[in-house]
Structure 1
Amino acid sequence: MIDEIFRAEWGRVVASLVGFCRDVDVAEEAAQEAFALAAQRWGRDGTPAEPRAWLVAVGRNKALDRLRRERRLAEKLQLLPPPTETVMPATAIPDERLELIFLCCHPALAPQARVALTLRAVGGLSTAEIARAFLVPEETMKRRLTRARTKIKAAGIPFAVPGEDLLPARLGTVLSVLYLIFNQGYGDQRVDLAAEAIHLARMLAQLMPGEPEVSALLALMLLHDARRDARTRDGELVLLADQDRSRWNAAQIEEGRALLRGTDGPYAVQAAIAALQTEEPIRWAAVADLYARLGELTGSAVVELNRAVAVAETAGPRAALAIVDAVAPALDGYRYLHSTRAELLRRIGDPDGACRAYRRALELTTTEPERRFLERRIAHL
């Protein structure tokens, strides 16, 4: 029960506490202490009627305790609203978690630091999970988060929702955060995180209807999420070519396609690729062309890896393997580099090389369905 409440309420609790104490670090620590206390008491006394209100109230007390310990209570109390007031000021933003994302995406912070901070605060992701999303060691990410929090305090960055005229300047980072939260939920089967990202993207689309990349990101999420139920069968991973299309969510696919507006931004191109992948048969040459365009827009090694998958279907595995080998130095810690390379080696008749690559992917995977899939591939070879 407490795990489900953590997943559902973490972002809202942290957002409320940030509005109260104007400090992400204090808010996160207070939220953690509140959830820890809930785990102890609720099992004994039962879950309260309003779990979020209980957690916020306890979190406020914990935050005040820390401020007292740091001997800054008098200074901080001048900034705190009375307990009877709304914890965040009234804004045009319709969800407090979306408010928190815009709060953390201050332009004074490095782009990756903004994304990492909000993944932690809104998504409740651990430092290790955020590090995997950025393809960096956990210690590296820990240092980045520490530096970002230090800069917030040293520079006196205000915890205030930006005016509507300033929202577009932070939009790119906000979209990155939502997409990474979705990917964490989709890749690791965290349905709650993926659903939260879709919900927040819907809110953002209502808030900024004139921004085509917002609609494109929502389309991308819907098109991917529509295939969720078919990605596994009896707990085992099912590849796209083998998925039962009757298990795809046709309404989400239709909605996602309707949101495509023919724009040429990165999320629009990715959404167009996702739409092509729902067709039967898939037009792999068109997919490869779109990945080439996306590579021009992003310069991403991961995009090149995905292009290789499409090239394998049109020009064969050897042509695709050349692309994969070119990006391999930049993606050695990325499990899908090794699983893709293994599949291509298997297809060109190099079982030993394929086994080595599958084993490397197995070392890096974080989900049980993927683990079992890779083990079956190795056993077959």
Structure 2
Amino acid sequence: MTGPTAEQAIARAHHEEWARLVAGLARRFGDLDLAEDAAAEAYVAAVERWPRDGVPPNPGAWLTTTATRKAIDRLRRESHRDGKHQAAQMLSDDTPVEPTGPVEDERLRLVFICCHPALAIEARVALTLRLLGGLTVAEIAHAFLVPETTMARRITRAKAKIKAAHVPYRMPSATDIPERLAGVLAVIYLIFNEGYLATAGDDPLRADLTDEAIRLGRLLRTLLPDEGEVTGLLALMLLSDARRTARVSHAGELVTLDEQDRGAWDQTLISEGHALVRERIAAVAAGGEPPGRYQLLAAINAVHTDAPSARDIDWSQIVALYDRLIGVDPSPIVRLNRAIAVAELDGPDMSLAEIERLHETLDGYHAYHAARADLLRRVGRSDESRTAYDRAIQLAGNPAERAYLARRRDQLAW
């Protein structure tokens, strides 16, 4: 049996090693730009050398050594950075740096470092998605519903602010964790969402990202077992990821929740997710803090995954949970999802009226136009539905989602 080609090995190494590589370089050299650039240069070197010389036995170690050398070479060329040059020389023997503090995982430490309170929450999330998730600026901009140029400036300013503030590249202390937790949770969830339904590229799902987000979620729960939102986020990701194999058809088309084969869902993940949701319900009932955003989203997913079939879903309970969620997070996307649930409970007319009120805010969001197209189809307004489907297809970056939307559009009566 032949091994992977050089191209396949490089792609796999990028998926598996990018975050660890950037995190290690950032800790070693104390410079986010240098870490990212040196990691990128190491992958360029792999593209040039692995097809010619063969894939190394340990691709991760090869990339780490190459990236470290690239970083040191760059520092040597920049004579005005003598202090960092000396630091790089001291670390060039690859002597491991002993971990200290409450967070021992390299990648999770990077998340906490980038989620420094000196940065605005949007900047914390965007920067970590770039460095840890390896997402492009375009992918991150899509997640935030902002132009790509705006996101590029945001990330650049965040790096500059960290450098100017001399933020230490150390593991956070126990007292640092609570003030950074909101940003860390947001980062992990956005990494998960990019894997759950990729915004661009040929692969509709990116299991490497969903797996990494769940891994980080498990580590975070070990670190903070009594933090309700940490447990809620892990439950939410498990219940969502349990449906992975049923979400794309053999033809490469997205399969919506109501059409999925529930027998293909991962029952082990569902059982674990349900247990975590029940744990949080019991904690709240015993006088704990009211549920936050991730706990409520997990509860909504628990209702979906508890029903034996789509027609058995308790939509009244889901709408009630969305009502509570709006009290915590009154964002347009939450209101959109609530309106979609209302359509199942009270019919498409009432839901359509709610969705129309979100037009100005969500006009650049493909899911808004997809939901509106479906509701217009259900009330018999085919021409308007077709226009909405066209707009959704234009905005959607995921190939499986575009295929699904195109089929639904083409089924409309003329």
TM-score range, shorter chain: over 0.9
Q: 1:297 to 1:88 in 2, by over 3 A?
A: farther
Does 2:93 correspond to 1:76? Answer: no
Does 2:220 correspond to 1:204? Answer: yes
Deviation at 1:323, TM superposition (A): 1.4
Deviation at 1:337, TM superposition (A): 0.2
Residue 266 (structure 1) aligns with = 293
Q: Does the 8 Å CA contact 2:245/2:265 hold for their aligned counterparts? A: yes
1:125-159 per-position Cα deviation (integer Å, ceiling 9, x unaligned): 00000001101110010010111111112222222
Instruction: Measure the CA separation in 2 of the matches of 1:126 and 1:84.
Output: 30
Q: How does 1:210-249 map to 2 (within 5 A)?
A: 210-234=226-250, 235-249=252-266
Q: Which amino acid aligns with 1:11?
A: A
Q: Which moved more, 1:257-266 or 1:185-194?
A: 257-266
Instruction: Measure the CA separation in 2 of the matches of 1:146 and 1:94.
Output: 27
| Secondary structure of the structure 2 residue equivalent to 1:278 | helix
Q: Which amino acid aligns with 1:271?
A: A
Does 2:296 correspond to 1:296? Answer: no
Q: Find the partner of 2:374 among 340, 343, 364.
A: 343
Deviation at 1:322, TM superposition (A): 1.4
Q: 1:204 to 1:51 in 2, by over 3 A?
A: same
Q: Which amino acid aligns with 1:190?
A: R
Does 2:268 correspond to 1:251? Answer: yes
Deviation at 1:46, TM superposition (A): 1.4
Residue 279 (structure 1) aligns with = 306
1:148-180 per-position Cα deviation (integer Å, ceiling 9, x unaligned): 111112222222221112111111100000000
Q: Which amino acid aligns with 2:219?
A: M
What is the count of residue pairs matched by the alignment?
381
Residue 15 (structure 2) aligns with = 7
Does 2:152 correspond to 1:142? Answer: yes
Q: 1:343 to 1:312 in 2, by over 3 A?
A: same
Mind listing any 5+ residue stretches in structure 2 that lack a counterpart?
Answer: 1-7, 199-204, 285-290
Q: Does the 8 Å CA contact 2:102/2:172 hold for their aligned counterparts? A: no
Q: Name the % identity.
A: 50
Q: Does the 8 Å CA contact 1:20/1:88 hold for their aligned counterparts? A: no
Instruction: Measure the CA separation in 1 of the matches of 2:164 and 2:81.
Output: 18
Q: Which amino acid aligns with 2:408?
A: R
Instruction: Measure the CA separation in 1 of the matches of 2:381 and 2:39.
Output: 52
Deviation at 1:371, TM superposition (A): 1.1
Q: How does 1:125-136 map to 2 (within 5 A)?
A: 125-136=135-146
Q: Find the partner of 2:354 among 318, 323, 334.
A: 323
Q: Does the 8 Å CA contact 1:94/1:203 hold for their aligned counterparts? A: no
Q: Does the 8 Å CA contact 2:370/2:389 hold for their aligned counterparts? A: yes
TM-score (norm 1): 0.97
Residue 188 (structure 2) aligns with = 178
Moved over 6 A (4+): none
Instruction: Measure the CA separation in 2 of the matches of 1:87 and 1:208.
Output: 24
Residue 19 (structure 1) aligns with = 27
Q: Which moved more, 1:301-310 or 1:46-55?
A: 46-55
Instruction: Measure the CA separation in 2 of the matches of 1:88 and 1:96.
Output: 11
Deviation at 1:317, TM superposition (A): 0.5
Q: Which amino acid aligns with 2:191?
A: I
Q: Does the 8 Å CA contact 2:101/2:172 hold for their aligned counterparts? A: no
Residue 192 (structure 1) aligns with = 208
Q: Which amino acid aligns with 2:33?
A: D
Instruction: Measure the CA separation in 2 of the matches of 1:155 and 1:178.
Output: 25
Q: Which moved more, 1:147-156 or 1:184-193?
A: 147-156
1:322-352 per-position Cα deviation (integer Å, ceiling 9, x unaligned): 1111112111111100000000000111001
Q: Which moved more, 1:175-184 or 1:141-150?
A: 141-150
Q: How does 1:338-377 map to 2 (within 5 A)?
A: 338-377=369-408
Mind listing any 5+ residue stretches in structure 1 that lack a counterpart?
Answer: none
Instruction: Measure the CA separation in 1 of the matches of 2:376 and 2:365.
Output: 17
Deviation at 1:292, TM superposition (A): 1.5
Q: How does 1:56-71 map to 2 (within 5 A)?
A: 56-71=64-79
Instruction: Measure the CA separation in 2 of the matches of 1:70 and 1:331.
Output: 46
Instruction: Measure the CA separation in 2 of the matches of 1:360 and 1:71.
Output: 53
Q: Does the 8 Å CA contact 2:113/2:169 hold for their aligned counterparts? A: yes
Instruction: Measure the CA separation in 2 of the matches of 1:224 and 1:212.
Output: 18
Q: Find the partner of 2:133 among 115, 123, 127.
A: 123
Q: Which moved more, 1:152-161 or 1:139-148?
A: 152-161
Q: Find the partner of 1:31 among 6, 17, 39.
A: 39
TM-score (norm 2): 0.90
Q: Which amino acid aligns with 1:363?
A: Q
Q: Which moved more, 1:228-237 or 1:345-354?
A: 228-237
Q: Does the 8 Å CA contact 1:17/1:87 hold for their aligned counterparts? A: no
Q: Does the 8 Å CA contact 1:19/1:87 hold for their aligned counterparts? A: no
Q: Does the 8 Å CA contact 2:109/2:172 hold for their aligned counterparts? A: no
Q: How does 1:161-176 map to 2 (within 5 A)?
A: 161-176=171-186
Deviation at 1:68, TM superposition (A): 2.8
Q: 1:202 to 1:161 in 2, by over 3 A?
A: same
Q: Which moved more, 1:82-91 or 1:194-203?
A: 82-91
